[in-house]
């Protein structure tokens, strides 16, 4: 950079700075086809919740407050010629007063395992999808949890390390500051990069959050139905089939009218057909009948669809019976939705 007559750096206009950065970027593209400059849309440094919160986090710490602002104009003038985010690490090229851009490396410690576990637990029942998470569409309580100082998802100054190839001896030079703001701008383009940088898995977070919602719903359902005895339980208790009489004479089994009597009902054994030639004489209770059908299928296994065909029972009844048999250890899953003898 040239010097004025008074020994101060020669004034360089914003237009000159932008032209210099653009010229250098064109040169670098020939050598670095994968170069990725940070280009702002409009005058705002950040648009989305994750980007804004990243910048707010940097500015709320006294360690950074007096120095971080030095990078804003650099970012706005297109000086961040390249910025790439990987787990725990950011590399950047920032144009300064020298002929070539300065090389910056920023390291971010991952979220502590215990901290991540706590955050996942706090998210249970409050997140609906990955899309909502990345778009910042979640309750205010979650926003507060994520942004909690020292305990949330955003790094403290102690968790951030940086290096710059410039001669500036300041603990945070303007090139590093520009790169730090550039990270926020990258989150506008792809919010999932925030989780990549912090070394945590969004799928893990969503799975736990959805599981929490499902468990809560199941618990409520169990409370409401605690006094209702399952059909399969009644069948085992009294040794009878409580509700269904099945007609196997047609091509497709048909469910006939419900039996209202509690008298013991004997179901006819199905005539041997191509579909059930290997099925032995079946017991009379629904649970025992299903267990016998599955026991006879020792090779490929039996699906719920097979059981509907072979028993005529509705799927809702069969799911309950299969669940009970699995709990009793009489059958097991061969694969998703396929059951074999235990």
Give the contacts of 310 (CB within 8 A, at least 6 positions apart). 253, 270, 275, 276, 279, 293
Model confidence at 69: pLDDT above 80: yes
- Cα–Cα distance for residue pair 293/302, rounded to 1 Å: 8
Q: How confident is the model at residue 86 (pLDDT cuts 50, 70, 90)?
A: very high
Global pTM reads 0.60
For residue range 255-303, list pLDDT tens digits in order: 444 444 444 444 445 444 444 445 445 556 888 888 888 888 756 788 8
CA distances from 156 to 8, 55, 88, 147 (A): 36, 12, 14, 11
Q: Which residues pair with 339 in a beta bridge?
A: 302, 333
Enumerate the domain spans of the chain: 14-113+155-201, 231-341
Give the contacts of 246 (CB within 8 A, at least 6 positions apart). 253, 254, 255, 256, 267, 311, 312, 313
Fold assignment, 231-341 = Arc Repressor Mutant, subunit A (1.10.10)
Alpha-helical runs (H) found in the chain: 14-31, 49-59, 62-65, 72-76, 113-123, 130-135, 140-147, 174-189, 192-198, 202-225, 231-238, 286-296, 304-311, 315-327
Give the contacts of 339 (CB within 8 A, at least 6 positions apart). 294, 301, 302, 303, 322, 325, 326, 331, 332, 333
More confident residue, 81 or 220: 81
Q: Is 310 exposed, middle or buried (0-12, 13-18, 19+ CB in 10 A)?
A: buried
* pLDDT computed for residue 294 by the predictor: 84
- Cα–Cα distance for residue pair 263/242, rounded to 1 Å: 9
**Average pLDDT for 307-316:** 82
- The tokens describing 48, both together, are 């989305």
- The tokens describing 331, both together, are 């059958």
For residue range 15-54, list pLDDT tens digits in order: 888 999 999 999 999 999 999 999 998 889 999 999 999 9
- Cα–Cα distance for residue pair 127/286, rounded to 1 Å: 40
Model confidence at 318: pLDDT above 60: yes
């Amino acid at each position: 950079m040239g010097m004025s007559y008074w020994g101060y750096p020669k004034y360089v206009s914003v237009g000159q700075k932008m032209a210099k950065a653009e010229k250098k970027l064109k040169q670098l593209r020939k050598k670095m086809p994968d170069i990725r400059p940070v280009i702002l849309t409009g005058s705002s440094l950040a648009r989305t919740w994750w980007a804004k919160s990243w910048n707010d986090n940097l500015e709320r710490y006294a360690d950074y407050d007096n120095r971080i602002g030095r990078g804003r104009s650099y970012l706005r003038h297109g000086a961040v010629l390249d910025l790439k985010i990987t787990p725990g690490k950011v590399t950047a090229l920032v144009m300064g007063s020298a002929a070539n851009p300065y090389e910056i490396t920023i390291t971010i410690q991952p979220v502590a395992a215990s901290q991540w576990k706590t955050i996942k637990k706090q998210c249970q029942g409050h997140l609906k999808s990955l899309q909502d998470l990345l778009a910042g569409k979640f309750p205010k309580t979650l926003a507060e949890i994520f942004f909690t100082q020292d305990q949330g998802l955003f790094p403290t100054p102690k968790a951030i390390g940086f290096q710059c190839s410039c001669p500036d001896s300041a603990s945070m030079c303007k090139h590093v500051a520009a790169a730090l703001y550039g990270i926020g701008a990258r989150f506008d383009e792809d919010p999932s990069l925030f989780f990549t940088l912090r070394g945590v898995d969004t799928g893990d977070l969503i799975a736990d959050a959805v599981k929490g919602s499902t468990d809560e719903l199941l618990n409520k359902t169990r409370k409401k139905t605690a006094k209702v005895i399952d059909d399969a339980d009644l069948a085992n208790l009294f040794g009878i089939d409580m509700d269904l009489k099945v007609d196997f004479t047609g091509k497709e089994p048909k469910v006939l009218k419900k039996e209202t009597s509690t008298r013991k009902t004997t179901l006819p054994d199905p005539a041997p057909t191509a579909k059930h030639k290997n099925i032995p004489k079946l017991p009379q209770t629904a649970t025992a009948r299903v267990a016998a059908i599955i026991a006879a299928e020792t090779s490929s296994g039996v699906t719920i669809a097979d059981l509907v065909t072979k028993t005529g029972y509705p799927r809702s009844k069969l799911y309950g019976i299969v669940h009970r048999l699995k709990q009793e250890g009489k059958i097991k899953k061969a694969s998703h939705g396929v059951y074999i003898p235990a």
